[in-house]
Homo-oligomer: A and B are copies of this chain.
Amino acid sequence: MQKPSLPKGTRDFGPGESAKRKYITGTIEKYFTKYGFQKIETPSLENLSVLTGKYGDEGDQLLFKILNSGDYLKNVREDDLHEGSKHLLPKIAEKGLRYDLTVPFARYVVMNQHNISFPFKRYQIQPVWRADRPQKGRYREFYQCDADIIGTNNMWNETELTLLIHDIFLALGLEDFVVKINHREILSALAGLVGMKGREEEFCVELDKLDKTGKDHVVDAMVKSGAEKKKVTDLLEIFETEGSNIEKIKIIESEVGPANGGVKQLNELLQLLGEQPDRSNKVEIDFSLARGLSYYTGVIFEVKTTSMQMGSLCGGGRYDNLAGVFGLPNVSGVGISFGLDRIYDVMEALGLFPKDVTSGLKVLITHFDEDTFRHGRRILDELRGSGIQCDIYPEIAKLKKQLNYANRIGTEFVITIGDREMESGKYAFKNMESGDQTTRTIQDIIHYFTAKD
């Protein structure tokens, strides 16, 4: 019998981990709701025709494909079997697992356009799947918590999302983070300036690897794509120039010109953010920020923690044409996506979860025999009827075993039923942490828990 195992890049979450994950999503949902975002859900399975071509070349390779059901070779001809994996793929697989929540959202908007009131603000908290090589902070199945606004292109929306990012991370207790901001129109102009006009996507893909591969690598890759070496190295130096956000925009403006849409929008964003200085003081313009996804057309965001080495915790941006790809043009959207699993890892490493986040059973009832077990079940029913999270040891067992169990599962209190207790109606009520024991009626015990709420 082969030992059971998990697919690589996936994990189980036990009670402690699940409680902590719920703490994070609960906090995020609370703020999403307060900011007027409404929850929707889309299926895990999407047609490959919806998913392919949306995430760049690399993205298509990282999609998980679902083999057609039944006899998937039914309509496959002999030639098809010998043209390689890529050729055969569309003939044996029509569906895939979603790669993010933005493309499904755009599809949802187009399919439901007549029933949606624009501007539409929605949130989604669901898992996504990518066949990446697993490493620290990089899983094959992970949760995204997305908030998007579609059907409006006013910079107030980018501003609101920036404030939302601040509020959420501070609520989670994470103070050391930076919100990097850039703009795809600035990146496009810069691509042209270094000699890669018409190859803006490649420019962004290479630039996005700057942190991972280093400057020399990026220079070489861009030169191979037609860029002039000196112009690239000069640009990378400009990226490193320190200064306030306003100063940085002025410097890049002298490169791309004041008419650049990105320069205008970033200035407007900074002005709107200036209305809330306490909630936007971690914003940092970073012109080297590229983000991997190809559907962004305007402002792009990326949040990193300054406390430890970790990939981005939150990312997003403006996408003017995504609904257009699905047949609904001129409906622009902007959104942000929180990576639950990375946020979890950071909070765990920094000890940011509240102590009581994994608290469990309030009371475990223990007993000695059939009669005390039966009596205990009646008490269980009374306690549960009063809303108390409690349980009874589910079979006859020695008291020592039952108490050890109570300890191991972290129960707050234990009630012990003996013959004397059945007669008197007063029960030993033991605090498992302190060891203190009192004798109380069931009403007293119920009062103890319900009066505290």
Contacts and interface: CB of A to CB of B under 8 A. Distances in A.
Contact of A43 (B6, B121, B381): B6
Given A64-B66, A122-B15, A378-B275, A73 B47 contact: no
Contact of A381 (B10, B13, B41, B276): B276
A46 B7 contact: yes
A45 B141 contact: yes
A149 B182 CA distance: 52
Contacts of A325: 1
A50 interface: yes
A69 interface: yes
Contacts of A40: 12-15, 18
Interface string A32-45: 01111011111111
Contact of A65 (B35, B67, B140): B67
A170 interface: no
Interface residues of A, number: 103
A110 B4 contact: yes
Nearest to A21: B41
A428 interface: no
Contacts of A50: 4-5
B22 A39 contact: yes
A39 B18 contact: yes
B39 A377 contact: no
Interface stretch (A85-93, A218-226, A412-420, A435-443): A85-93
A95 interface: yes
Interface in A379-399: 381, 384, 387-392, 394-396
A427 interface: no
Contact of A14 (B74, B89, B115, B377): B115
A319 interface: no
A239 interface: no
A361 interface: yes
Interface string A1-31: 1111111001111110111011000000000
A41 B64 contact: no
Given A64-B66, A81-B81, A276-B381, 11 more contacts: A4-B47, A6-B47, A7-B95, A10-B43, A12-B111, A18-B39, A21-B41, A22-B39, A36-B361, A65-B67, A156-B377
8 contacts: A7-B47, A21-B41, A35-B384, A44-B44, A66-B66, A67-B92, A117-B405, A152-B395
